[in-house]
């Protein structure tokens, strides 16, 4: 479909749906415009093509339409790409740890490629994830990769992570910046902001629920040496 073939009314509705998909916190609840447009995307092939065409022009790809809404993946070079460099308040080492935790969460929740086809809710616990990453440090440190590669960055991130204490408590009994438990909390909080996770405090103060948005984004991501090492570690942990 070319832009000339697009009906302007449909184009406006398609753009609105993409806008909902890009809006943090937007939810397709019953009776909402978001829900109506999402249902139309699922059932109207022409409208779906219109949404996909406009999204492609913006450097976006529609990965799916789970209950949480339209899941969009940005082109790595496009205007909507999310980069660790955008986390301006972090220094270089903090960004490495942030990235390592993201990959670890993917491996922890989906240790096998086939798990990405299972929409069952995945729960993560901050303390258990910290234990998991620390147990995999040896494998990450042994990645054989040249300088400047993703594997080399994973090795460096593992070294930084290993040197950080698990816990530095504040006077109020919380976790202070500079410890890995606090770093995992921050990553989980960021995922909540992205609509890729939800707090599940009813199941425990450190528990988060990963959404279908996270699953689809993980499935769309390219594999890496770090992901494979962490998946092997998680498989061993589950089967033990």
pLDDT in tens, 142-158: 888 888 788 888 899 99
pLDDT at 60: 85
Going by pLDDT thresholds of 50, 70 and 90, the confidence category of residue 4 is very low
Average pLDDT over residues 175-181: 92
Going by pLDDT thresholds of 50, 70 and 90, the confidence category of residue 82 is low
Q: What is the DSSP letter of 175?
A: B
59-63, 125-129, 152-156, 199-203: which has the minimum mean pLDDT? 59-63
User: Which two structure tokens, joined as six digits, stand for 53?
Assistant: 């065409």
Among 225, 94, 101, CA closest to 160: 94
Whether residue 76 is predicted with pLDDT greater than 70 in this model: the reply is: no
Among 4-13, 106-115, 122-131, 137-146, top mean pLDDT goes to 122-131
* pTM (two decimals): 0.75
Among 46, 41, 35, CA closest to 63: 41
Average pLDDT over residues 33-39: 94
Sheet holding 207-210, edge to edge: 122-125, 207-210, 197-199
Average pLDDT over residues 38-42: 93
pLDDT digits (tens, 9 = 90+) for 158-173: 999 999 999 999 888 8
Strand pairing class (60-64; 71-74): antiparallel
């Amino acid at each position: 479909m070319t832009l000339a073939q697009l009906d302007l009314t449909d184009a406006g509705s398609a753009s609105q749906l993409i806008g909902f998909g890009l809006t943090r916190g937007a939810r397709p609840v019953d009776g909402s415009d978001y829900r109506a447009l999402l249902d139309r995307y699922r059932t109207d092939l022409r409208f779906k093509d219109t949404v996909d065409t406009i999204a492609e022009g913006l450097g976006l790809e529609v990965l799916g339409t789970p209950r949480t809404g339209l899941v969009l993946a940005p082109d790595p070079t496009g205007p909507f790409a999310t980069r660790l460099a955008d986390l301006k308040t972090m220094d270089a080492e903090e960004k490495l740890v942030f990235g390592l935790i993201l990959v670890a969460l993917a491996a922890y929740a989906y240790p096998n490629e086939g798990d990405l086809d299972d929409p069952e809710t995945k729960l993560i616990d901050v303390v258990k994830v910290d234990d998991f990453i620390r147990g995999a440090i040896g494998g990450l440190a042994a990645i054989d990769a040249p300088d400047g590669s993703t594997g080399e960055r994973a090795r460096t991130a593992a070294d930084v992570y290993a040197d950080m204490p698990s816990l530095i408590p504040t006077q109020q009994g919380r976790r202070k910046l500079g410890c890995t438990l606090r770093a995992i909390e921050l990553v989980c909080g960021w995922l909540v902001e992205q609509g890729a996770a939800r707090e599940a405090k009813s199941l425990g103060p450190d528990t988060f629920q990963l959404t279908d948005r996270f699953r689809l984004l993980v499935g769309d991501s390219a594999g890496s040496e770090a992901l494979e090492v962490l998946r092997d570690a998680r498989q061993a942990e589950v089967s033990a």
